[in-house]
Amino acid sequence: MLTKASLLLFSCCLIPSIALAEVSIEKQIVDQVNNQLGESQDLLEKLVNINSGTMNFAGVRQVGGILTNQFDSIGFITQWVDGNEFDRAGHLVATYESTKNPTAPKILMIGHLDTVFAENDDFQSVTDVGKNRLAGPGITDMKGGDVIIFAALQALHKLGMLEQLNIKVVMTGDEESSGRPLEKSKKALVDAAIWADIALGFEDADGDINTAVTARRGSVGWTLKSSGNAAHSSQIFTDAVGYGAIFELARILNDFREQLSDTPLLSFNPGIIAGGTRLSDRGSSIIESFGKRNVVAQTAIVKGGLRAVSPEQLVNTQSAMQQIVAQHLAKTDATLVFDEGYPPMQQTQGNVDLLALYSKVSVDLGYKPVSAVNPRNAGAADISFAADHVDMAIDGLGLMGTGGHTKDEVADMTTFAQNIQKTAVLLYRLSMFKKERQKN
């Protein structure tokens, strides 16, 4: 983890009392957001109607291109980070550095251009399903969040307030299926986070406008392989033959469950399993096996995932799992390998303070307070790669709705205007904080 030389210090109190002049400025911001709402919704529909499944590189670039033009139009410096090195389309990075207010905190805003819907999916476009709801692939996850980012900045630009801010927007092209190695695919995001003091994520999180994410569990894949002596089944459990690969795998999985399943905020799931005389592993989700009822299994494999709330919990769990694996049944062997994964976004005081600030904005604008999501209900997301490098981070500020990652993905458009307003006002309030050097 990086420790930063700079830390945000709020000189008087976390939430400044809002003077009357500021109230009227904030009203102007809200009015500006509302005036451009039709334009914002048009942009959203245009983006959702372009397929940008992660592996449809042309589509991801097209969505990125439209947003690039938008950010160019409000004075950002834009860059397309090519994804060739990690076998993905690439990322959009848009930067605005204030010349008028260089001490303003540096804010990273995170979106993603890709969706889980492939080019040949039948869910491809926006439909009005009534009651202020729009269905569409990736509308909440997370083209809605992308447009919220842009629309908030556009409103501040029109009012001449963008000049008070230092902003970097990173919209990745591979959030739904990250390019590998992660060191390369997440570099643009991590570099931006190293630059930034504050990170804001615009995922739809748990779909509730009254919650935001201050902590997310990290996610890592694992593969467990076991081996045993192939022999006639009548000889199993003898000293010469032992227990076979499948009993060894079953022992390990059962011990994982018995010893670790009660650990708070930890979860691990064996998702696919196969065993027998021969296996052929066809990639991440297909394994073929051949075996006979009367032959002791020679080989077995299980692939799973694990979610942990902190790096410590991850390391402790990994070592407990390895200890379980090492206690082999007679005449068997097994190995457990972990993939590189998503780091956890840890609950920090900075994140809690930033959420309080955001919640205050919400209440001041006449909406409900915003509280923290239970980390168990927050999936892994790009902000996890940024959170360790900033003083404060929250996620889940995007367009709300239901049915993400399914053909029933529907956005609640009443949350669209609200969250653009809240984001724009939050940025305005953050622009008034001064960054001070921490003496150490």
Q: Helix 311-326 vs helix 244-260: angle between axes, to the nearest 10 degrees?
A: 140
Residue recorded with tokens 């447009």? 147
Whole-number Å distance between alpha carbons of 207 and 203: 9
Is the Cβ of residue 182 or residue 330 nearer to Zn ion in the bound state?
182
Is the Cβ of residue 185 or residue 298 nearer to Zn ion in the bound state?
185
Residue nearest Zn ion, Cβ-based: 141
Contacts of 312 (CB under 8 A, 6+ apart): none
Residues 202-221 that bind Zn ion (CB under 5 A): 203
From the CB of 243, what's the least distance to Zn ion, in Å? Answer: 44
Is the Cβ of residue 90 or residue 111 nearer to Zn ion in the bound state?
111
Is the Cβ of residue 39 or residue 408 nearer to Zn ion in the bound state?
408
Is the Cβ of residue 300 or residue 383 nearer to Zn ion in the bound state?
383
Query: Of 227, 19, 181, whose CA–CA distance to 85 is shortest?
Result: 181
The total number of residues written for the chain in this structure: 440
From the CB of 345, what's the least distance to Zn ion, in Å? Answer: 14
Whole-number Å distance between alpha carbons of 158 and 282: 53
From the CB of 11, what's the least distance to Zn ion, in Å? Answer: 36
Is the Cβ of residue 178 or residue 359 nearer to Zn ion in the bound state?
178
From the CB of 203, what's the least distance to Zn ion, in Å? Answer: 5
Residues 342-371 that bind Zn ion (CB under 5 A): none
Whole-number Å distance between alpha carbons of 380 and 309: 11
Collapsing DSSP to helix, strand or coil, 158 comes out as helix
Neighbours of 428 (CB within 10 A): 22
Cβ-contact 208, 378 below 8 angstroms = no
Burial environment of residue 338 by CB neighbours within 10 A (0 to 12, 13 to 18, 19 or more): middle
Q: Which structure tokens are listed for 325?
A: 């694996």
Cβ-contact 211, 373 below 8 angstroms = yes
From the CB of 221, what's the least distance to Zn ion, in Å? Answer: 18
Whole-number Å distance between alpha carbons of 151 and 73: 12
Residues 128-167 that bind Zn ion (CB under 5 A): 141-142
From the CB of 147, what's the least distance to Zn ion, in Å? Answer: 14
Does 399 contact Zn ion by CB under 5 A? Answer: no
Chain mean position to CA 184: 17
Is the Cβ of residue 177 or residue 438 nearer to Zn ion in the bound state?
177
Burial environment of residue 66 by CB neighbours within 10 A (0 to 12, 13 to 18, 19 or more): middle
From the CB of 199, what's the least distance to Zn ion, in Å? Answer: 15
Strands 6-8 and 435-437 turn out to be antiparallel
Whole-number Å distance between alpha carbons of 298 and 243: 10
Is the Cβ of residue 64 or residue 105 nearer to Zn ion in the bound state?
64
What's the distance, Cα to Cα, between the start and end of the chain in Å? 17
Query: Of 152, 165, 202, 168, whose CA–CA distance to 430 is shortest?
Result: 165
Is the Cβ of residue 141 or residue 391 nearer to Zn ion in the bound state?
141
From the CB of 62, what's the least distance to Zn ion, in Å? Answer: 18
> Total residues at the site for Zn ion (CB under 5 A)?
3
Phi then psi for residue 347, to 5 deg, are -70, 120
From the CB of 115, what's the least distance to Zn ion, in Å? Answer: 8
From the CB of 414, what's the least distance to Zn ion, in Å? Answer: 21
Is the Cβ of residue 217 or residue 435 nearer to Zn ion in the bound state?
217
Residues that bind Zn ion (CB under 5 A): 141-142, 203
